[in-house]
């Protein structure tokens, strides 16, 4: 486990995500898990801020993938933001070619609704569990998975 924290405001969640972003490197996959309204998009926005993304970050629910230009250690990096909320079956996943996206060392992949593609996640990835405790508070657990 990297860290576990309860945040009380959106700003605290953003700050925690910015802090986490310093651990990311080219080729990393960050899989976010949590119910609707748990704060997945907020956490991704914070990661993107930490990666110096200047474009507007929002959830790509209908387009499924957004791409942003970021920086890690002074070098440019492609950041791919996935939202698999609308994915319903293996056929949808196959048509998207997610395995190719997730095994690309040239970018950082940030995934909302990772539950839908769990068996397609790479062997090594970052897992972020978000739990909505009440209207403002979130329990956030970040861990490195190396199965």
* Ordered strands of the 138-146 beta sheet: 3-7, 138-146, 124-132, 29-33, 107-112, 75-83, 65-72
Instruction: Tell me the C-alpha distance between 14 and 59, whole Å.
Output: 15
- Predicted structure pTM score: 0.93
Calculate the average pLDDT of the chain.
93
User: Which of 108, 109, 59, 110 is CA-nearest to residue 86?
Assistant: 59
Residue 137's pLDDT is 98
SS3 41: helix
Both tokens assigned to 92: 């949808």
Instruction: Tell me the C-alpha distance between 113 and 137, whole Å.
Output: 20
Instruction: Tell me the C-alpha distance between 21 and 46, whole Å.
Output: 8
What share of the chain in percent tops pLDDT 90?
A: 77
Q: Is the pLDDT of residue 66 over 90?
A: yes
DSSP run (H or E) holding 12: helix 10-21
Q: What is the pLDDT of residues 93-139, one digit of tens each?
A: 878 887 777 877 789 999 999 999 998 899 999 999 999 999 999 99
Domains of the chain and any CATH numbers = 3-146 (3.40.50.300)
Q: Is the pLDDT of residue 147 over 80?
A: no
The arithmetic mean of pLDDT across residues 68-75, rounded, is 95
Both tokens assigned to 42: 């907020």
């Amino acid at each position: 486990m990297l860290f576990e924290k309860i945040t009380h405001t959106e700003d605290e969640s953003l700050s925690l995500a910015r802090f986490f972003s310093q651990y990311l490197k080219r080729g990393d996959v960050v899989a976010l898990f949590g119910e609707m309204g748990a704060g997945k998009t907020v956490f991704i926005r914070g990661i993107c801020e930490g990666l110096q993304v200047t474009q507007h970050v929002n959830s790509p629910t209908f387009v499924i993938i957004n791409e942003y230009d970021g920086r890690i250690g002074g070098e440019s990096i492609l950041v791919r933001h996935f939202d698999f909320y609308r994915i319903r079956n293996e056929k949808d996943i196959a048509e998207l070619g997610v395995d190719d996206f997730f095994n690309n060392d040239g970018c950082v992949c940030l995934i909302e609704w990772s539950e839908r593609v769990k068996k397609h996640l790479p062997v090594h990835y970052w897992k972020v569990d978000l739990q909505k405790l009440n209207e403002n508070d979130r329990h956030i657990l970040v861990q490195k998975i190396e199965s």
